Chain A
Amino acid sequence: MDYFATVLISSLSSASILLIATLGLAVVFGLMGVINLAHGEFIMMGAYSALTATQLGIPFILAIPVAVLVTMVFGALVEIIIIRRLYGRLFDTMLATWGLSLALYQGAVLIFGSVSPGIGMPQINFNVGDYTLAAYPIFMILVAAVMLAGIYALLTRTVYGMKARAAIQVPDMARAIGIDSARTNTLTFAIGCGLAGFAGAILLPIVPATPSMGFAFVIKAFLTVVIAGPVTLAGSALAAIGVGTGASVVASFMTSVAGDLFFFILTVVLLRLYPLGVSAKWRIKL
């Protein structure tokens, strides 16, 4: 029973980690209709930014905003230089961000080498019956919830959020009433990248920074967004928690590859039932 509880808690924590890693992708997809194949590398960039900051003596808690800032600025540049030229060209956008993904990966290999030191996880533990769980991964459940609430507030309670939603729903009308949709999109993409950077930084104690860490995240992150469908925020949360928990239960009994495989197969089954994502017929919009 205790064992079952620990598996469930740690699986829920894995699902939350997945959600943290996915939200940036979901925001960009939901608000711009663009899939950023370099999303994993933005997570990696966030992780390395936070790592470098801590190595320079900045406390970890302050290294997180540094990582967010770095990835946001870089994301804004990418939007202006690349994405903006490819609006409405879905495949080309994916190819270009894919090229970026590999360039960033190789860039990280050249700058940081293929192995980097991790940073220690805060040593706080608690017990469930006979089992001891580390507190930090469990803390991620709370982080995911706060992130979700924060993004929801950002999109519904701020002027930017309203502009961004207007720009995606009726782009022409949004422009007609004076919303600079190009600038809104730049900000949206930067926020998406910033969220990826945040994920890389906050997960650093759990997932050490390596150049290839992005590829480890993207299978599940991309599939989560695909399962979610058009209502990206609520859909991703549901998909990450539903399928993600299942996959990590499988992974904890078998191997992590089996977890990924399970995730893939479940995605395919879900797409059979909901070809355009589980949220295709939902009436809420976020």
Chain B
Amino acid sequence: MEHNLTTAEKIHGSIGISAPTIAVIIALGISGMLDPYLAYVASLWVIYGLLGMSLDLVWGRGGVLSLGQTAFYGLGGYFGSVVAINFSELTGNSLIWALPTGAACGALSAAVIGYLIFYARTGPLQTTILTYTFTILLWTLSQSFKITIGEAKIGGDNGMANIPGMILDFGEDATTLEPNAMFATVVVISAVIYFAVRLLMSGPFGRVVDCIRIDGEKTELLGYDIRKYQLQNFMIAGAIAGIAGALFAAWSNYLNPSIFSVQEALMVPIYVLVGGAGTLSGAFIGSVLIGGLSFWLGGGAISGQTTLILGLVLIVLVIFLKNGILGALNSLWLRFLPDRNRAVHSIKPVTIDASVVENILADAEVAAGPPKSLETKNATKAFGGVIPVNDVSLKFEPGIPHSVIGPNGAGKSSFLKVCVGMYPPDSGDVLLGGENVSHSPIFQCVAKGLGVKNQKPQVFGELSIFENLWTAAFSMTRDKNKANQIADQILTMLGMHEQGNVEASALSHGQQQWLDIGMVLCLTPRTILFDEPAAGMTNEETRELSHLVRILAKKTTVLVVEHDMEFVRTLDGMVTVLHQGAFFAKGDIVKLRADDRVLDIYLGRRAHVQSI
């Protein structure tokens, strides 16, 4: 969906590659001419930038604030150095030992911490606290930790000395790089890592990570195992931090526990905030800027108060400069570009073409198999004394639309959440196509063919309409081209073919409902659950929706939870009434409308309610 982009927009879109490329060329160009001391110091700025980027990956992209990046950095430094001290004499080259070990060590320790955090599904606050305490714990632990491994002596507070510098040559007479060559080496290594990460993060992996940041629940409802993605992202960041640590050790030839200190950790978010969170390259800008500034001012003048000043700087940055330098430049630039969302005003009302939907459904059946029935057996869910789902046994088959109705508090939405796996039932079972999914996590239910649209439209506002649909389609196909095809089909059906590039957040409430429904269809679901899909729609839209639901029900199992009785009437299907969490009545709408007991619970008339 790259069409109708102007040249200016294309330049803007590729700036994340072109600008860093130019920066790397300039850095390499001047690396030979720099004053050796400046080259030595500047190498450290780049290393810090790499460390900052590892945080940006977790925080700016992943949406989880980790204060433990220096822990992985320090562990990578220590272990990388232990291996380098022992083996670099064999080969000459020190980096082939230090960097892989550092990366592995960073990734491994991040894997342990990340597994505990993400697979336990703790909240964001717990994540930050755990990573922070992990860092402080390593700080205190390393102060008394003494061990000798081969030639390497880790001496607690005394640290570890004799770490080989950066050696690139092989053989006996290999020599440590001079500062200027070291600077160039660090720049090249960082550039390789940056471009590799950028490539990864602009592909499907990065898209899913972005979606998790924006709305984790919705991402899981699209069938992605978000824990896995979060853990992988965290491990990649840990590996990068570990490499940065190994580079730092080779740069300084010496490590001590202060690498784990809070003062050290404090710098990392500052770099990210100055450069701009979520940009990946911003951390380098932050570290070079801050490093350059303190070099210019002469570090000695403020050294005693550095922590004091940086602490205050962090407060000011958080309050006043949310998007950093790159963020500010970007919003300035965007003002000179045509409005990306200009096409939103020309979106036509959705009209459902039966033959188009039937084609889509036929394709879906080929790809995903026959429709699946949904059945609950004595499903019960209680919260304290409230029992929103009380011993409900229902079966829904394809053919005609099913609706679940009931007055406020009847347990309709809770019932739906039990079916999806959002509320695992306390007792009883949920069967999808005969398979027990009562305690399957949400993403597995979705992978088995369940498509869910919650009451509130859930779209990824920062992504374009097409990207929203594509992300849903990719979850099932795992194939970029097939996902493109499916997303394109649904996009056309929604009448938004010219608006693929518009951000989802620019859509109206009703349009977001349609986009959300479109995303569910992209999943090629075998069973579809809609929670009040008509809420916020105009009469015309509701009519089209009813049309769509009736077509869908021919080829899939469709269950609609609804408040709007008129909408339920137009569906012309089987209606189930829930009352106080339990099954109450079943039949077609005409029969139920004539049923005095149903009218009683809707109108709150006493006589029958009490006799139940």
Interface of A toward B, CB cutoff 8 Å? 35, 37, 82, 85-86, 90-92, 94-96, 98-107, 110, 215, 218-219, 222-223, 225-226, 255, 257, 260-261, 264, 267-268, 271-272, 275-277, 283
Complex: A94 Cα to B269 Cα, angstroms: 11
Report yes or no: A103 in contact with B65, Cβ–Cβ below 8 A.
no
The answer on a CB contact under 8 Å between B312 and A98 is no
CB distance from A207 to the nearest CB of B (A): 15
Q: Are B132 and A37 in contact (CB under 8 A)?
A: yes
B262 touches A215 (CB 8 A): yes
**Minimum CB–CB distance for B116 against chain A, Å:** 5
| B297 interfacial by beta-carbon distance below 8 Å | no
Interface residue from B124, B307, B318, B319 paired with A103 (Cβ < 8 Å): B307
Distance from B590 Cβ to chain A, minimum over Cβ atoms (Å): 42
A-B pairs, 9 with minimum CB distance: A99-B314, A103-B311, A102-B311, A106-B308, A106-B307, A91-B65, A99-B315, A99-B311, A96-B318
Choose one: A103, A218, A222, A276; the contact of B123 (CB below 8 Å).
A276
B313 within 8 A of A: yes
**1/0 contact string of B506-542 vs chain A (CB within 8 Å):** 0000000000000000000000000000000000000
Residue of B nearest to A82 (CB): B315
Assess whether B132 is in contact with A95, with CB atoms less than 8 Å apart: no
User: Given the complex of chains A and B, what is the CA–CA distance between A215 and B138 in angstroms?
Assistant: 12
Looking at the assembled complex, report how far the CB atom of A136 sits from the nearest CB atom of chain B, in whole angstroms.
25
Beyond known contacts A99-B310, A103-B307: 7 more, CB 8 A cutoff: A95-B269, A95-B273, A95-B318, A96-B315, A226-B130, A255-B144, A272-B116
Instruction: Return the contact of A35 from the options B125, B310, B322, B384 (Cβ within 8 A).
Output: B125
B359 at interface, CB cutoff 8 A: no
B126 at the interface (CB under 8 A from A): yes
Q: Are B311 and A257 in contact (CB under 8 A)?
A: no
21 residue pairs of the A-B complex, CB under 8 angstroms, read A35-B125, A90-B124, A92-B319, A95-B273, A95-B314, A98-B311, A99-B311, A99-B315, A101-B311, A102-B262, A102-B310, A102-B311, A103-B308, A110-B308, A219-B137, A222-B132, A223-B129, A271-B120, A272-B120, A275-B123, A275-B126
Chain A residues closer than 8 Å to B567, beta-carbon distance: none
* Known contacts A90-B124, A283-B384, A268 near B130 by CB under 8 Å: yes
A94 touching B307 by the CB < 8 A rule?
Answer: no
CB distance from B7 to the nearest CB of A (A): 37
- Within 8 Å CB of B65, what residues of A? 91, 94-95
Chain B residue nearest to A38 (CB atoms) is B311
Q: Which of A98, A218, A277 has the most CB of B within 10 A?
A: A98
Residues on B with beta carbons closer than 8 Å to the beta carbon of A35: 125, 128-129
User: Is the Cβ of B266 less than 8 Å from the Cβ of A218?
Assistant: no
Cα of A257 to Cα of B133 in the assembled complex, Å: 13
In Å, the complex CA distance between A104 and B315 comes to: 12
Say yes or no: A275 contacts B121, CB within 8 Å. yes
Is the pair B319, A82 in contact by a Cβ cutoff of 8 Å? yes
Task: Output the nearest chain A residue to B140 by Cβ-Cβ distance.
Answer: A257
Contact B137 A99 (CB under 8 A): no
Contact A92 to B125, CB < 8 A, known contacts A255-B144, A260-B137: no
**Which positions 208-239 of chain B face chain A at CB distance < 8 Å?**
none
Chain B 288-329 interface mask (CB, 8 Å, partner A; 1/0): 000000000000000011111011111100110010000000
Complex Cα gap A277–B306 (Å): 37
CB-CB < 8 A to A276: which residues of B? Answer: 122-123, 126
Task: Report the nearest A residue to B266, measured CB to CB.
Answer: A102
CB neighbours of B307 from chain A (8 A): 102-103, 105-106
Distance, CA A101 to CA B140, complexed state (A)? 18
A223-B124 contact in complex given A86-B318, A102-B311, C-beta closer than 8 Å: no
A275 to B134 Cα, complex, angstroms: 17
Of the listed residues A35, A86, A104, A226, the one surrounded by the most CB atoms of chain B closer than 10 A to its CB is: A226
Q: Does B188 contact A (CB under 8 A)?
A: no
Asked if B136 is at the interface of the complex by the 8 Å CB criterion, the answer is yes
Cβ distance B252 to chain A, nearest Cβ, rounded Å: 22
**How many of chain B's residues touch chain A, expressed as a range?**
35 or more
Q: Does B79 contact A (CB under 8 A)?
A: no
Taking each of B134, B311, B313, B314, which has the highest tally of chain A beta carbons within 10 Å of its own beta carbon? Answer: B311
B263 at the interface (CB under 8 A from A): yes
B310 touches A98 (CB 8 A): no
What are the residues of chain B within 8 A of A226 when measuring CB–CB?
125-126, 129-130
- Report the minimal beta-carbon distance from B355 to chain A, rounded to whole angstroms: 48
The chain B residue sitting closest to A222, CB to CB, is B129
User: Nearest Cβ in chain B — how far from A15, in angstroms?
Assistant: 18
Main SS class of interface, A: helix
Q: In the complex, are the beta carbons of B124 and A91 less than 8 A apart? A: yes
Asked if B263 contacts A102 (CB within 8 A), the reply is yes
- Which residues from B are CB-within-8-Å of A277? 126
> In the bound complex, what is the Cα–Cα distance between A271 and B122 (angstroms)?
7
Distance A37 CA – B305 CA, assembled complex (angstroms) = 20
Q: Which residues of B contact A223 (CB under 8 A)?
A: 129, 133
Instruction: Give Cα A35–Cα B132 distance, bound, in whole angstroms.
Output: 12
Name the interface residues of B131-180: CB closer than 8 Å to any CB of A: 132-134, 136-137, 140-141, 144
Smallest beta-carbon distance A126→chain B, Å: 32
In the bound assembly, the distance between CA atoms of A227 and B70 in angstroms comes to 24
For residue A258, which residue of chain B has the nearest CB? B141
Rounded to whole Å, the gap between the CB of A243 and the closest CB of chain B is: 13
Task: Report chain B residues within 8 Å CB of A90.
Answer: 124-125
Alpha-carbon separation in the docked complex, A32 to B300 (Å): 41
Select from chain A the residue with minimum beta-carbon distance to B141. A257
Most B C-beta atoms less than 10 A away, residue of A99, A215, A275: A99
Q: Which residues of B contact A101 (CB under 8 A)?
A: 262, 311
Residue of B nearest to A282 (CB): B384
Of residues 95 through 139 on chain B, the ones whose CB sits less than 8 Å from some CB of chain A are 116, 120-126, 128-130, 132-134, 136-137
Question: How far is the CB of B216 from the nearest CB of chain A, in Å?
Answer: 13
A105 to B311, CA, bound (A): 10
Report whether A219 and B314 are in contact in the complex, using a CB–CB cutoff of 8 Å: no
Which residues from B are CB-within-8-Å of A264?
Answer: 133-134, 137
Q: Which chain B positions have C-beta within 8 A of A215? A: 136, 262
Instruction: Identify the closest chain A residue to B121 (Cβ).
Output: A275
Q: Kindly state whether residue B470 has any CB partner on chain A within 8 Å.
A: no
Question: Which residues of chain A have C-beta atoms less than 8 A from B262's C-beta?
Answer: 101-102, 215
Contact check, A100 vs B315: say whether CB atoms are below 8 A apart: yes
Which of B130, B133, B313 interacts with A99 by CB under 8 Å? B313
In the complex the two chains form, what is the Cα distance from A276 to B117 in whole Å? 11
Q: How far is the CB of A80 from chain B (nearest CB, A)?
A: 13
Q: Nearest CB to that of A225 among chain B residues?
A: B129
Shortest CB-to-CB span from B269 to chain A, Å, is 6
Q: Are A271 and B126 in contact (CB under 8 A)?
A: yes
Cα A37 to Cα B128 with chains together (Å) = 10
* Residues in chain B near residue A260, CB distance under 8 A: 137, 140
In the bound complex, CA of A101 to CA of B116 (Å): 27
Residues of A within 8 A of B384 (CB): 283
**How far apart sit A96 and B314, CA to CA, in the bound complex (Å)?**
6
Residues of B within 8 A of A110 (CB): 304-305, 308
B67 interface residue per 8 A CB criterion: yes
Q: Is B59 an interface residue (CB 8 A)?
A: yes
- CB pair A219–B136 under 8 Å, yes or no, is yes
**Contact status B130-A267, CB under 8 Å:** yes
User: Within 8 Å CB of B322, what residues of A?
Assistant: 92
- B119 and chain A: residue at smallest CB distance: A272
Contact check, B266 vs A98: say whether CB atoms are below 8 A apart: yes
Q: How far is the CA of A255 from the CA of B128 in the complex (A)?
A: 26
A99 to B140, CA, bound (A): 20
Contact A91 B310 (CB under 8 A): no
Contact residues in A for B116 (Cβ distance below 8 Å): 268, 271-272
Nearest-neighbour CB distance to chain A for B141, whole angstroms, equals 6
8 Å CB contact of A92 from B141, B263, B313, B318: B318
For B128, give its contact among A91, A107, A261 (CB under 8 Å): A91
- Asked if residues A106 and B311 are in contact (CB atoms below 8 Å), the reply is yes
Q: B137 contacts which chain A residues (CB < 8 A)?
A: 219, 260-261, 264
A94 to B125, alpha carbons, bound, how many Å?
9
